[in-house]
Amino acid sequence: MEPTQTRSGGSNKPSAAKRYGPVIAIVVVVALIVGGFLLFKKDDKSKKAATATTSANGGGTGKAPWLLFDKADIKTDWGPNCDKSTGKIKIPWTYAAPCAKAFSGDNGGATADGVTKDAIKIVVYQGDPAKNPLQAASVSKAGADVSPATARATYEGYFKMFEKYYNFYGRKLDIKYFFGSGGPMDEVTARADANAIADMHPFAVISGPNQTPVWAETLTARKVFCLGNCSLAVPTKTIEANAPYLMGYGPTPEQAGLMTAKLVTSELAGKNAVYGGDDVKNKKRVFGITHYDTVDGQQRDAYAILRSELTKKNVKIAADLPFQLDLGRGQENARTQIAKLKEAGVTTVIYTGDPLTPGNLTKEATAQNYFPEWVIGSNVLVDIAVFGRTYDQEQWKHAFGLALTGSRVNQDSNPAYTVYQWFNGVRPPDNTYGVILADLAQLVTGLHETGPNLTPGTFKDAIFNAPVAGGTPIAPRTSRGSHGLWPGTDLGGTDDTGLIWWDPKARGENEIGVVGDGLYQYTQMGKRWALADIPATDPGFFDPSKSVTIFTTVPKAFQTPKYPSPAK
């Protein structure tokens, strides 16, 4: 069984039930791209990391497998696509890969499963929103495209650009598209599809039915990399158990939980609820938590870290309410949770979880005439306007907390948009281009950084030894490995956070270009904080004079060099 379509056009025609792109996959990885981009930051820590061994987490030697740009190294040939003034490839995208040592000769041939002398096989999973129509409706309502044709065309535009400019060491990308047979939570079809893909012997898979851990576990057990939007909010224990084949995006749930706890204990605990509605305003804060988990309790350990940090600071939780993402029973579950929060006298609700559940929670809170503070804690895309606009606005005007994504930039200045247009001469066909670029960016950048000896171990080493990226208002700082930003070996992506509040009256474009009312305000003009730096004083919540909603253009300090467009 091989229900795939190759990039060259050959295909096994899928049935009508298998023609659509993934639902949650369309929206959950925007976190790396929305409103921003990444900068390679070669400070002393990252230079040391480039030569340090970081063999923890399985596979590889821990040493950088291929030589990356060093300005002091004037003898090395960095190839024709290298801009030596920046040390990066000549693509007008701030996340362009660092220049790599030029290559010629024997690349080693079949260095790993899915790798030959001439090609690297990659499978892009496309799911079926018809298998989960409630989620499909929620995504479509938010304004996101769900067309498989436009998504695929957008993938193709990016892949062609990277093949032209990045170094894959004599190999081409052999891209195949796999049409999934079930919904994002269906364990039976997820396992069957993962095994079918593994039987195709690819080097890596992008995306998948990521609401069940079976998907990633099956692929990694078959020694296939699970990358991009393949597994969401992956706990440290899961990454370690599936090393080196599993890499998540954003911070790990444990890291995001530490940030949540730091905000609560430093800024909020022991003070009055000044940001809530009249029924709770100026009362001493009483905390409740609503937190996402899976059927098998995959998030339990990460949540325990959050609770432990709160307990250390004597922060009591009056209502502890786990939930699963079940939109079919969403309003019913929300009714129960809101009733419990209200009964416990909670003034301040800490929310950790997905971007769809707050729609039901906030609607139900208004129905029960309950207007608490809403603290945005560890989350997946709750912190973007695409979803903020779908929540009950009478509730969400009391929302504030972590922005794991970067500050917003207008669509026509969004680097994911402009780099596609620069190379292809037209705008991206699908308005979830930011998701699509994020899906494949880690893969192609890692391939470029790995060098000709491409194996699972060397690929992981390349990712872990890559320079630290970002650290600006519109560019979350990101890294993996040992760069001195987290204790031990960092298995997550994002290393810092912004602090935001919801302004229902602010008007402008959201992350997919839809103009409307309601935007997040980024405090202190989008400043981002590492865990240790999260402030103990008010950073400017609900103060427009200290906040920014959108950077209408990329600030001059962060603009990329201008390169001639290759588009005909």
Is-cis flag, bond preceding 467, omega within 30?
Answer: no
Average pLDDT over residues 299-328: 91
- Cα–Cα dist 442/426, whole Å: 24
Architecture in CATH of 253-403+497-554: 3-Layer(aba) Sandwich (3.40)
Q: Are 539 and 523 in contact (CB under 8 A)?
A: yes
Residue (of 33, 7, 132) closest to 436 by Cα position: 33
Q: How does strand 498-509 pair with strand 547-548?
A: unpaired
Confidence band, pLDDT 50/70/90 cuts, at residue 61: confident
Angle at which helix 433-450 crosses helix 415-424, to 10 degrees, equals: 70
Model pLDDT, residue 236: 86
Average pLDDT over residues 477-502: 89
Q: What is the pLDDT of residues 143-193, one digit of tens each?
A: 677 778 898 999 999 999 999 999 999 999 999 999 888 877 788 999 999
Q: What percent of the chain has pLDDT over 90?
A: 58
Q: What is the pLDDT of residues 262-303, one digit of tens each?
A: 999 999 999 999 999 999 999 999 999 999 887 777 788 889
Model pLDDT, residue 140: 60
Is 207 a residue whose pLDDT tops 80? yes
DSSP 8-state secondary structure symbol assigned to residue 268: I
Q: What percent of the chain has pLDDT over 70?
A: 86
Higher-confidence position of 490 and 347: 347
Report residue 236: phi and psi, to 5°: -55, -45
Residue (of 375, 312, 309) closest to 531 by Cα position: 309
Model pLDDT, residue 500: 98
- Cα–Cα dist 100/107, whole Å: 15
CA dihedral of 421, 427, 431, 434, whole degrees rounded to 10:
0
C-alpha Rg value of the chain to the nearest Å: 23
Q: How does strand 204-206 pair with strand 172-179?
A: unpaired
Average pLDDT over residues 74-80: 94
Compute the 3-state secondary structure of the chain and give helix, strand, coil in percent, each to the nearest 5.
35, 20, 45
Confidence band, pLDDT 50/70/90 cuts, at residue 46: very low
- Biggest CA-to-CA distance, the chain: 72
Candidate ranges 233-242, 328-337, 385-394; pick with highest mean pLDDT: 385-394
Q: What is the pLDDT of residues 410-454, one digit of tens each?
A: 888 888 899 999 999 999 998 888 888 988 988 999 999 999 999
Q: Are 11 and 361 in contact (CB under 8 A)?
A: no
Report the mean per-residue pLDDT for the chain: 85
Model pLDDT, residue 565: 96
Model pLDDT, residue 133: 57
In angstroms, how far is the first alpha carbon of the chain from the final one? 40
| Exposure letters 535-567 (e unless 16+ CB within 10 A, then b) | beebbbbbeeebbbbbbeebeeebebeebeeee
Model pLDDT, residue 135: 57
Q: What is the pLDDT of residues 336-387, one digit of tens each?
A: 999 999 999 999 999 999 899 999 999 999 999 999 999 999 998 899 998 9
Q: Are 229 and 435 in contact (CB under 8 A)?
A: yes
Q: How many CB atoms lie within 10 A of CB 425?
A: 12
- Cα–Cα dist 87/100, whole Å: 9
Confidence band, pLDDT 50/70/90 cuts, at residue 9: very low
Tell me how many helices (H) and strands (E) the chain has.
Answer: 16, 19
Model pLDDT, residue 132: 58
Would you mind telling me the total number of residues written for the chain in this entry?
568
Average pLDDT over residues 12-20: 28
DSSP-assigned letters across all residues of 83-130: ETTTTEESSSSTTPPBPB----S---S--STTB-SSEEEEEEEE--GG
Average pLDDT over residues 32-36: 30
Which is it for the CA torsion 110, 113, 115, 116, positive or negative?
positive
Confidence band, pLDDT 50/70/90 cuts, at residue 138: low
Q: What is the pLDDT of residues 504-537, one digit of tens each?
A: 999 998 887 789 999 999 999 999 999 999 999 9
DSSP 8-state secondary structure symbol assigned to residue 533: G
Residue 502 C-beta-side C-alpha neighbours within 13 Å: 30
- Cα–Cα dist 51/209, whole Å: 37
- Cα–Cα dist 506/399, whole Å: 14
- Cα–Cα dist 224/125, whole Å: 13
The residues spanned by each domain of the chain are 4-251+413-469, 253-403+497-554
- Cα–Cα dist 45/33, whole Å: 25
Q: How many CB atoms lie within 10 A of CB 137?
A: 14
User: Angle 455-207-422 (CA atoms, 0-180°, nearest 5)?
Assistant: 90
Is 18 a residue whose pLDDT tops 60? no
DSSP-assigned letters across all residues of 214-248: HHHHHHHHTT-EEESTTSSS--HHHHHHTTTSB--
Confidence band, pLDDT 50/70/90 cuts, at residue 33: very low
Model pLDDT, residue 51: 35
Q: Are 27 and 142 in contact (CB under 8 A)?
A: yes
